Amino acid sequence: MIRWGTCLAAMLVLASAANAQTAVERGSYLVNTVLTCGNCHSPKGPPAAIAGKDFSGGLSWDEPPFKVTATNITPDKETGIGSWSDAGIKKLIRTGVRPDEVQIAAIMPTGFYEIMTDRDLNAVVAYLRTLKPVKNKVPDPVYKMAASRQVFPGAEKPMPQAAMGDKVKRGFYLATIAHCMECHTPMEKGVRDFKTKLGTGGFDFPGPWGVSTSRTLTSHKTTGIGGWTDAEIKRAITQGVSKDGGKLKPPMGYEYYAKMTAADLDAVVAWLRTVPAKE
């Protein structure tokens, strides 16, 4: 009885702590850690972001299907999203469809955001509204082919809030919105092979850092992270240091993931341990 009472009291404390976090605080946490929005939307020539210009437009991609720049997502009315409705921003994040019904380039991992809970999505929008408006017009997108979009398996609909109490399910949720498996799964005929090659890496990322190639995240004992300790996995995610001590290159947003809570990081690792071993 006493145990149950203590447990209940602890749960109540946890529940009130979660409630005490305002929507803007929750949104700030998500955007600046797990979601890594600024990793694309803030201007940066490595190493550091340009002070005062956060979220005002960032990286560019020139690929066969499109030439696009991560847009200005500050509340500036003319060059940012200040005149968008909340519903318009939410629809863009979950589906990649702009208010003018244009499907944006799949560089933005919206196929990983359909799983976002309503609470988290509202929190993200509430936070974006508090950003300092920055005037900066990014070049208009050029689309050379019809847009394609792939939804991550299991992320087709918002996660029920109740599932968040389960560590592995929460880890799946967080790793999904962190789009880990987008970068860590190879392409097969133009689509990511989540079915048979989930987490096997081998995807190339050219950039100012040269070329980095994503590595295997499966639980395979030798080619994956099956033989790593939790601490080694967390160090790689948050500090960009591999098991052998080698420094890992961008574009993985280590410095964003570094600010995740210990509990959230634990949940991500718990889910990674369930990714089936593959060569």
Applying CB under 6 A, which residues contact ligand HEC? 31, 35-37, 39-41, 68, 70-71, 73, 81, 89, 92-93, 98, 104-105, 107-109, 124, 141, 175, 178-180, 183-184, 205, 212-215, 217, 225, 233, 236-237, 242, 248-249, 251-252, 257, 268, 272
Supply the DSSP symbol for 63.
E
Neighbours of 192 (CB within 10 A): 20
Structure-token pair, residue 140: 């208009």
- 47: preceding bond cis by omega (within 30 degrees): yes
What is the Cα–Cα distance from 75 to 56, expressed in whole angstroms? 9
Nearer to ligand HEC, 146 or 162 (CB): 146
CB of 1 to ligand HEC, least distance (A): 41
Nearer to ligand HEC, 39 or 56 (CB): 39
What is the Cα–Cα distance from 271 to 275, expressed in whole angstroms? 7
| Of 223, 227, 149, 213, the residue nearest 183 (C-alpha) | 213
Nearer to ligand HEC, 3 or 34 (CB): 34
What is the Cα–Cα distance from 110 to 102, expressed in whole angstroms? 14
CB of 159 to ligand HEC, least distance (A): 15
Supply the DSSP symbol for 205.
E
Nearer to ligand HEC, 8 or 77 (CB): 77
Pick left, alpha or beta for residue 260 (phi over 0 → left; psi -120 to 50 → alpha; otherwise beta). beta
CB of 51 to ligand HEC, least distance (A): 20
What is the Cα–Cα distance from 49 to 36, expressed in whole angstroms? 13
Kindly write down the DSSP assignment for every residue of 160-181, as one continuous string. PGGGGGSHHHHHHHHHHHTTHH
Nearer to ligand HEC, 35 or 155 (CB): 35
Is the dihedral angle over the CA atoms 223, 224, 230, 232 positive or is it negative? positive
CB of 248 to ligand HEC, least distance (A): 4
CB of 7 to ligand HEC, least distance (A): 30
CB of 217 to ligand HEC, least distance (A): 5
CB of 4 to ligand HEC, least distance (A): 35
Nearer to ligand HEC, 107 or 198 (CB): 107
For residues 133 and 82, is the Cβ–Cβ distance under 8 A?
yes
Nearer to ligand HEC, 52 or 245 (CB): 245
